Structure 1
Amino acid sequence: MTELAKAQLIQLDDDFKKEKPGGEKVSVQFNPETLKVTFANQLVQPQGGDQAAGNTGRQFVGAGTTKLALTLWFDVTAMTEDAVDDVRRLTQKVIFFMTPTPDKADAKKMVPPATRFVWGSFLFDGIVEGLEESLEFFGTDGKPLRAQVSLTIGQQKILTSEFKGDGKVPSSPGQKPMSQAKQGDTAQSMAAKNGQSDWKGMAAANGIEDPLRLSPGQLIDVRAGAGAGIGFSAGANIQPPSITPPKFSASASVKIN
Structure 2
Amino acid sequence: MSPAVRTSRARAQLTLKEPPATVGAKPGGTIARLNLQFNPNSLQLSKTTEWRRTPSRMAGQSALPEFVGSGPRQLSLEVFLDATSTHDNSVEQAVETLMKACVPSPASLARKKPASPWVRFEWGTARTTSFDGVLSSLSVTYTLFDVDGKPLRATCALSVEEASVDPPGQNPTSGARTARSTHTVVAGDSLAMLAWREYGDATAWRAIAEANGIDDPMALAPGTELMVPALGDAGGEEER
Q: Could you list the runs of 5+ residues in structure 1 that have no partner in the other structure? A: 164-257
Contact 2:47 2:70 in 1 (8 A): no
- 1:119 correspondence with 2:126: no
Tell me the equivalent position of 2:90.
Answer: 86
Provide the C-alpha distance between the structure 1 equivalents of 2:17 and 2:26, rounded to a whole number of angstroms.
6
Asked if residue 14 in structure 1 is aligned to residue 19 in structure 2, the reply is yes
Check 1:19–1:155 CA distance in 2 against 1; reply closer, same or farther (3 A cut). Answer: closer
Which amino acid in structure 2 is aligned with residue 74 of structure 1?
Answer: L
Instruction: Point out where structure 2 has 5 or more consecutive residues left out of the alignment.
Output: 171-240
* CA-based RMSD: 3.7
Give per-residue Cα distances to partners, 1:179-210, cap 9 Å, x unaligned.
xxxxxxxxxxxxxxxxxxxxxxxxxxxxxxxx
More helix by share: 2
1:132 deviation in Å? Answer: 0.7
> Match for residue 137 of structure 1?
144
Which of 101, 104, 117 is 2:105 aligned to? 101
Aligned ranges 1:123-202 → 2 under 5 Å: 123-155=130-162
Go from structure 1 to structure 2 and tell me whether the alpha carbon gap of 1:46 and 1:85 turns closer, same or farther (over 3 Å shift). same
SS of the equivalent of 1:74 reads: strand
Who is 1:202 aligned against?
none
Inter-partner Cα distance in structure 1 for 2:78 and 2:165:
22
Report the identity percentage. 27
Change over 3 Å in CA distance of 1:110–1:17 after alignment to 2: closer
Residues 128 and 151 in structure 1, CA contact (< 8 A), matched pair in contact too: yes
| Contact 1:11–1:20 (CA under 8 A) maintained in structure 2 | no
1:35-114 mapped onto 2 (5 Å cutoff): 35-43=43-51, 45-46=52-53, 49=56, 58-79=65-86, 83-101=87-105, 103=108, 107=112, 109-114=113-118
Report the residue type matching 2:33 in the other structure.
K
TM-score by length of 2: 0.54
- Change in Cα spacing, 1:55 to 1:147, as seen in structure 2 (3 Å) is same
Residue 8 of structure 1 and its aligned partner are, at CA, apart by 1.4
Aligned ranges 1:211-226 → 2 under 5 Å? none
Count of aligned pairs between the two proteins: 159
